[in-house]
């Protein structure tokens, strides 16, 4: 949001052949962030995550496509933007481990949980 790459990121997903089946802007609350990052919420670096993720509104997107989790993760590049190749979203727009532009689910199971966490059923328009 801060770098104004929302349209660029959305265009990359669409160019890759994914369908956008949910999209909204929201501000992440501390409660939602603690739920989402429960696996690291007790780590010393967690307050930095919460501060960054709640500093601006975010765009939440639900994408649909074949082998979507693996393909999105390939398109994004590694979590640490400094290690991401140019041509990936994080390699082109991210700056470091924290400011990596986009979060993506790491498994089909987590994708299902995250869809429920961030979207109401009536906010998803699947084919």
Q: Provide the residue ranges of all domains of the chain, joining segments of one domain with +.
A: 6-118
Q: Say yes or no: domain 6-118 is CATH 3.40.50.720.
A: no
Q: Is 0.95 surpassed by the pTM of this model?
A: no
23 strand-pairing partners: 61
CB 1 within 8 A of CB 78: no
The DSSP string of the chain is -TT--HHHHHHHHHHTT-EEEEEEEEPPPHHHHHHHTTTTTTSTTHHHHHHHHTSS-EEEEEEE-TTHHHHHHHHH--SSGGGSPBTBHHHHH--SSS--S----SSHHHHHHHHHHH--GGG----
Residues labelled as active-site residues:
103
Give me the pLDDT at residue 117, please: 97
- pLDDT tens readout for residues 19-42: 999 999 999 999 999 999 999 999
């Amino acid at each position: 949001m801060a770098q104004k790459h929302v349209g660029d990121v959305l265009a990359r997903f669409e160019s890759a052949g994914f369908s956008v089946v949910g999209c909204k802007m929201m501000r992440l609350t501390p409660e939602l962030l603690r739920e989402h990052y429960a696996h690291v919420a007790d780590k010393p670096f967690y307050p930095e995550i919460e501060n960054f993720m709640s500093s601006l509104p975010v765009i939440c997107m639900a994408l649909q496509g074949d082998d979507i989790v693996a393909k999105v993760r390939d398109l994004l590049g590694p979590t640490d933007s400094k290690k991401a190749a140019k041509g990936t979203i994080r390699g082109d727009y991210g700056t470091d481990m924290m400011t990596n532009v986009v979060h993506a689910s790491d498994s089909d199971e987590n994708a299902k949980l995250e869809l429920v966490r961030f979207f109401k059923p009536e906010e998803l328009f699947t084919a």
